[in-house]
Amino acid sequence: MGVEQGCGSRVAEETCGETPRYMLLLNLVVADSIQLVISQLLYTLSNFFLSLSYPLCGVFIMISIMSAHISPLTLTVMSIERYIAVCFPFHHPIIVTIRNTVFAILSVWGMICIDIFLHVAFLLEFPFHILPSLQMNFYCISTAFLIGPRSKVYEMGSTITVFLFSGLVITLSFIGVMIVAFSASTDKASADKARNMLLLHMFQLSLNLMSSMALPIFTDVAALTDPIVAGKLFVAVYVFLVMMPRCLSALTYGLKDSSLRPILVSRLCCHLHVSSTVTAQTHDLQKKDNGPSSLPRSISNRISTK
């Protein structure tokens, strides 16, 4: 409550208006980071030919599915926020508050938790009792738990539903922003900025969809008889369909944002950051030596002669 009261002042109005957008961006980065960590962990274990137990592998797979579905839903909420900012600018500070943003983020996580609960319910159909041991004899991958037709249908249906819903909302938001942009009573700069942001969301959603397509491709690659070719294709699919889309998703948003771009570029280009710091320090020293507080040379010479 104290934060939202502070946002009512004119000094903090612009800062608090940007806070919900950065909160959603943080949620997107956290989801993609979790997905990258889990994927990299499972990929490293497979390279060292280390197998996991079925319960531990199930935990990793559930976390991976959860993070994979959070990203498109977060992009959906971000698109709705941009739509409200352009189409309802006077209601935007009232609707898009920090409290409502937190509620939206928690709602996304709650929906994903329900989805994970249904996945676990189908996972209980796995015949663990007929196994001689809970230790897996192959790599940890989600297809190892899709044993029944119901689990396969639900996995495919949930993924298609999430991406179709996200794509539909982003497309409708884009159409609404374009309609408002063509009207004469709107802010053209704000509408163009929102349009570019929605196009970026579509690009990010396509990257997430590309990453979700890696699993069936992994299954086809694993079915190859030549292990050398399968290994090379496995690495290529992992880099271009798992790692690259998740990394580009947050990177493109950071480079697009005018507030995050200087910080991101300075961290990515360390030598430029160091050189700019040295230049700034040198400039400060020159200002101290020849600044307005220092006396002119003619006056100092008179004082020394006296």
- pLDDT tens figures, 224-271: 666 677 777 777 877 887 777 777 766 777 777 777 777 777 776 765
User: What's the pLDDT at 280?
Assistant: 47
Q: What is the pLDDT averaged over residues 15-23?
A: 74
User: What's the pLDDT at 111?
Assistant: 92
The Cα 77–Cα 64 span in angstroms is 21
- pLDDT tens figures, 63-106: 888 888 898 898 899 889 888 888 888 888 899 999 999 999 99
Q: Please name which of 170, 161, 168 lies closest in space to residue 212, comparing C-alpha atoms.
A: 161
Please provide the DSSP assignment of 44-93 as one string.
HHHHTT---BHHHHHHHHHHHHHHHHHHHHHHHHHHHHHHHHHH-TTTHH
Answer for the pair 142, 64: CB distance below 8 angstroms, yes or no: yes
pLDDT band at 60 (very low <50, low <70, confident <90, very high): confident
pLDDT at 44 over 70: yes
- The number of C-alpha atoms within 13 Å of 16 and in the hemisphere containing its C-beta is 22
The Cα 72–Cα 164 span in angstroms is 10
Least confident of 94-98, 159-163, 266-270, 272-276: 272-276
Answer for the pair 144, 136: CB distance below 8 angstroms, yes or no: yes
The Cα 174–Cα 171 span in angstroms is 5
The Cα 264–Cα 246 span in angstroms is 17
- pLDDT tens figures, 168-223: 998 888 888 888 877 755 566 777 777 777 887 788 788 777 777 766 676 666 66
Q: What is the DSSP code (8-state) at residue 126?
A: S
- pLDDT tens figures, 123-149: 777 666 776 777 777 777 776 666 667
Q: What is the DSSP code (8-state) at residue 128?
A: G
Q: What is the mean pLDDT of the chain?
A: 74
- Paired residues of 53 in beta bridges: 135
User: What's the pLDDT at 304?
Assistant: 45
Q: What's the predicted TM-score (pTM) here?
A: 0.74
Report CA-CA distances (Å) from 247 to 36, 201, 228: 8, 14, 27
For 154, the 3-state DSSP assignment is helix
The Cα 145–Cα 151 span in angstroms is 8
Answer for the pair 178, 206: CB distance below 8 angstroms, yes or no: no
| Angle at 54 (CA atoms; ends 53, 57), nearest 5 degrees | 85
Question: Angle formed by the axes of helices 270-289 and 261-268, to 10°?
Answer: 110
- Paired residues of 135 in beta bridges: 53
